[in-house]
């Protein structure tokens, strides 16, 4: 027969087990499943590269208060992965100055989660490279006060896992749509790359097409309007020589900033419509004969919130990448 002391002891042990179980599930903070979309900061920047590449996130745990949730977001542009905030992003940092942010946040990791499920890890980047998405600290500091941009640097190598853009997580996309936060943004296609002159300083002609996949009409930065200043914001196609392995991109920097932002630089691209441009670009070194993979990364001037809309549409900015195309350069 168990005496009163024994009963008290059993009750205490059961209560302690319940406390341990609760703490293991979520040591501090609300239930992660209560947030449709959330970002959690991690204290430890270390991770197992192989596990990450295999999308095994079992080493990570969601705990504490989220750094950012769906309630802080006005909308998410899926093409540029710009997160447009309802809040001033300065409130997300204990101190908002370059020295503090670079010292305290470089390589700091975070988790992107939906409904309590980890979708991918990412990190605050300042001059490093990991095969996962990032919040570039320079972009944090120089993008408008209400915008964070999730970026990613792909690698063309023998391991195809390095060439997976984990930002395009279908569960994140479905949740953003369900919460009314999703905007499709722009799509870019690199159509052709033709070598016009192949010399010590080579010139190419490239053609690209923009498609507005968004529900909004979007104003796009127009190379026909701004001329060579287009390449102040966009470097042009990057070419990888398959046989030799070398990367080639334009070093043509004889372009000037257009100065203060102006609406005249843009062309309206209506929802679900496309426009095509052909652009000349010099500044490549000599391009050896052979097969190349080519990709275009497209950027545009950043636009502050007060100037971002007019009666016909929204001024788009951020960065987007085309799919790769294969080209052959002859002698």
* Per-residue pLDDT tens over the stretch 305-330: 999 999 999 999 999 999 999 999 99
What local confidence, expressed as pLDDT, does residue 127 receive?
A: 75
What local confidence, expressed as pLDDT, does residue 40 receive?
A: 97
Q: Name every residue whose Cβ is closer than 8 Å to that of residue 185 and which is 6 or more positions away in sequence.
A: 77, 78, 79, 80, 213, 214, 218, 316, 318, 320
What local confidence, expressed as pLDDT, does residue 53 receive?
A: 79
What local confidence, expressed as pLDDT, does residue 48 receive?
A: 81
What local confidence, expressed as pLDDT, does residue 47 receive?
A: 76
What local confidence, expressed as pLDDT, does residue 44 receive?
A: 75
Burial 244-257 (b: 16+ CB within 10 A, else e): eeeebbbebeeeee
Nearest CA among 243, 329, 245, 242 for reference residue 286:
329
Q: Which residue matches tokens 């990791």?
A: 109
What local confidence, expressed as pLDDT, does residue 253 receive?
A: 62
What local confidence, expressed as pLDDT, does residue 22 receive?
A: 37
Task: Give the number of other Cβ atoms within 10 Å of residue 10's Cβ.
Answer: 11
Nearest CA among 140, 296, 121 for reference residue 204:
296
Q: What whole-number distance in Å separates Cα of residue 132 and Cα of residue 33?
A: 23
**Where do the domains of the chain lie, and which CATH numbers do they carry?**
32-178 (no CATH), 185-329 (2.60.40.2970)
* Per-residue pLDDT tens over the stretch 270-286: 999 999 999 999 999 99
Please give the C-alpha separations between residue 214 and each of 79, 193, 223, 236, 299, in angstroms, as whole numbers: 9, 27, 21, 24, 17
State how beta strands 82-85 and 147-151 pair: antiparallel
Strand partners, 278: 207
Instruction: Write out the two tokens for 43.
Output: 């204290």
Q: Which residues in the chain show pLDDT less than 50?
A: 1, 4-5, 7-8, 10-27
Please give the C-alpha separations between residue 91 and each of 38, 63, 68, 71, 88, in angstroms, as whole numbers: 16, 20, 11, 14, 6
Q: What is the 8-class DSSP label of residue 163?
A: G
């Amino acid at each position: 027969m168990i005496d009163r002391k024994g009963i008290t002891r059993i009750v205490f042990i059961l209560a302690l087990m319940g406390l341990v179980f609760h703490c293991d599930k979520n040591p501090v903070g609300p239930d992660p499943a209560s947030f449709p979309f959330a970002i959690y900061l991690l204290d430890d920047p270390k991770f197992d590269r192989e596990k990450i590449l295999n999308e095994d996130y079992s080493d990570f745990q969601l705990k504490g208060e989220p750094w950012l949730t769906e309630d802080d977001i006005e909308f998410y542009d899926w093409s540029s992965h710009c997160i447009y905030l309802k809040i001033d992003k300065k409130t997300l940092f204990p101190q908002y100055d370059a020295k503090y942010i670079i010292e305290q946040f470089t390589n700091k990791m975070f988790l992107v989660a939906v409904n309590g499920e980890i979708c991918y890890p990412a990190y605050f980047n300042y001059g490093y490279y990991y095969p996962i998405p990032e919040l570039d600290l320079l972009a944090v500091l120089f993008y408008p006060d209400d915008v964070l941009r999730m970026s990613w640097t792909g690698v063309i190598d023998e391991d195809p896992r390095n060439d997976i853009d984990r930002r395009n997580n279908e569960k994140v996309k479905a949740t953003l749509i369900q919460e009314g936060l999703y905007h499709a943004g722009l799509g870019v296609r690199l159509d052709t790359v033709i070598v016009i002159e192949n010399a010590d300083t080579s010139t190419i002609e490239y053609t690209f097409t923009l498609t507005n996949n968004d529900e909004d009409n979007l104003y796009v930065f127009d190379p026909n309007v701004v001329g060579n200043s287009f390449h102040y914001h966009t470097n042009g196609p990057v070419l990888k020589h398959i046989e030799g392995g070398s990367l080639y991109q334009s070093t043509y920097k004889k372009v000037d900033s257009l100065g203060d932002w102006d609406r005249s630089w843009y062309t309206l691209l209506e929802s679900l419509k496309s426009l095509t441009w052909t652009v000349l670009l010099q500044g490549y070194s000599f391009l050896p004969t052979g097969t190349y993979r080519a990709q275009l990364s497209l950027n545009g001037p950043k636009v502050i919130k007060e100037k971002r809309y007019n009666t016909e549409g929204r001024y788009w900015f951020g960065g987007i990448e085309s799919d790769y195309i294969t080209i052959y350069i002859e002698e």
